Every structure is written in structure tokens, then in C-alpha cells.
Amino acid sequence: MAPLDTLTLSGIRLYQRHLSPRKGFCCAHAALHGGESCSAAVARIIREEGVVRGRPRIAARVGECRRAHTALHGGSPLAVGSGVETRGVCCLGPIPIPFRCG
């Protein structure tokens, strides 16, 4: 495993163990669809492909989470799954990371 992958997985574990339990809510994708949270999904992708090769799948998951958030908070049903460009802030950790998908 590459050093970047190891470092990223360590950050995700830190977030899952110490920060996520304190924030009081789960990711929108898990809340809407069930299954694993985004942090668990991204950790799995990194273990399978690494950060660099897994980047498209990671970006897709974050986009799905953003659409789930929109659906849960009364967003337009047309925006959910419409393929429109998605922008936002990553929900995978304590540091806001801007992203763009689509």
C-alpha cells in the first residue's frame, strides 16, 4: 500500500473513531439508502484501488451523498440523479474539502 493510501486511511479511522461519534449525525447517503457510510465506502475504495486510482469512484460517492443530502432536505426531485454538476464540501472528515463532480 502506498504511503498516501496509508495516511488517508489513518485519517479516516481517526475521523470514524473520534470525530464522527461526536458530531451527532450520519452521512446523508447512509441515512437515505442504508448501508455503509461515506467514510466506510471511501476507506473500502482506497483499500481496493488506492487513493489515486480510486479517485473517480470516491468522487462519484461524494456526489451521491450530496444528492442524498438534497433529497433529504427537500431539494428539487429533478436535481436528484439528474446528472447536473455537483459542487459541495466533502463530508468525510473535520476539514472541509471542496469537490466538484459531473
**pLDDT tier at 91 (50, 70, 90 boundaries)?**
low
- CA angle at 98 for the pair 14 and 42, rounded to the nearest 5°: 45
Q: pLDDT tens-digit profile of 5-19?
A: 999 999 999 999 988
Least confident of 26-40, 54-68, 71-85: 71-85
Reduce the DSSP state of residue 14 to 3 states and report it: helix
The total domain count for the chain is: 1
Reduce the DSSP state of residue 70 to 3 states and report it: helix
Predicted TM-score (pTM) of this structure: 0.71
Residue-number span of the structural domain to which 67 is assigned: 3-101
Selected residue with higher pLDDT from 95 and 26: 26
> Which contacts of 54-60 are long-range, i.e. CB under 8 A and separated by 24 or more positions?
59/99, 59/101, 60/101
Span 71-98, average pLDDT:
54
